[in-house]
Amino acid sequence: MSGLMRWLFWLAAAVVGLQLFFLARIATMAAIDPQSTSFQRSEAWRLMNSPKGLKWRQQWVPYAQISEHLKRAVIAAEDGAFVNHDGVEWDAIEKAWQKNAQAEEQALKRARAGRVKVIGGSTITQQLAKNLLLSGERNLARKGQEFVLTMMLEGLLSKRRILEIYLNNVEWGEGVFGAEAAAQHYFRKPASRLTPYEAARLSVMLPRPKFFEKLPSSAYLASRSGTIMARMGDSVLP
């Protein structure tokens, strides 16, 4: 029993130590721009080992140098209640669970359970927590850690800072990260000069950037961009 207790003690100490490490990392981000995210490092490693080699675009720009159109578009597309929630949209998670349950039930009836589309309910803060410090692994423990990191981000950083870090690090294509790189890559202009329509198109790409990068003339991309443009006026900026 003493051996088991020692093992449990060291396991608990390791968990607490990891949380303190994450807490310190996030606290420094209030003043220091993160150089990279966990997701970016994994993508860089993948690209370096691909036949095409590493092709990378990223340039940090301050919050004020990112078009307000893009900020509004991303909030409209990804997290309409961004400035009002505490990092987690409980209603969205509940709706996602309900939709997934319905999809699974329909798939079972059609004997196609392997093709179920899983719908997420992640906020901008949750997406940042996941990409900033976690691996791409999907399990219950990782989801729990994502929740803890989300609370840390919301507790230690302002909404404006969270959005600034998110927009400078989110993936917008193969080796394309951040608003400045995306604006230059797709429109040959700085992020500060994006038009409402250009901003809307970039925001629509976010769930599947590599997919839409290959389909720039997608009818869905054009249609959805129009929908986001109509919603941008309702977006509240931090």
Closest CA to 126 of 145, 101, 98: 145
Closest CA to 169 of 40, 41, 30: 40
> How is residue 229 written in tokens?
């443009």
pLDDT, greater one: 121 or 55: 55
Calculate the alpha carbon distances from 174 to 92, 99, 118, 177, 213 in Å.
29, 30, 23, 8, 8
Buried/exposed 190-210: b ≥16 CB within 10 Å, e otherwise: bbbebebebbbbbbbbbeebe
CATH number of 37-88+158-238: 1.10.3810.10
Distance CA 77, CA 80 (A): 7
- Residue 140: which region, alpha, beta or left (left: phi > 0; alpha: psi -120 to 50)? alpha
What is the per-residue pLDDT across 126-142, written as a single tens digit (0 to 9) for each? 999 999 998 767 777 78
Distance CA 12, CA 120 (A): 30
| Least-confidence region, from 41-45, 136-140, 213-217 | 136-140
pLDDT, greater one: 2 or 34: 34
Burial of 77 (0-12, 13-18, 19+ CB in 10 A): buried
Average pLDDT, the chain: 86
Q: What are the domain boundaries of the chain?
A: 37-88+158-238
Q: In the prediction, which pLDDT does 95 show?
A: 52
CA 33 to chain centre: 17
Read off the pTM.
0.85
The arithmetic mean of pLDDT across residues 62-71, rounded, is 97
Q: In the prediction, which pLDDT does 87 show?
A: 79
Q: Is residue 82 pLDDT above 70, yes or no?
A: yes
DSSP assigned state of 237: P
Percent of the chain exceeding pLDDT 70 equals 85
Q: In the prediction, which pLDDT does 93 show?
A: 52
What is the per-residue pLDDT across 181-213, written as a single tens digit (0 to 9) for each? 999 999 999 999 999 999 999 999 998 999 999
Distance CA 232, CA 12 (A): 46
Residue 71: enclosing H or E segment and its boundaries?
Answer: helix 68-78
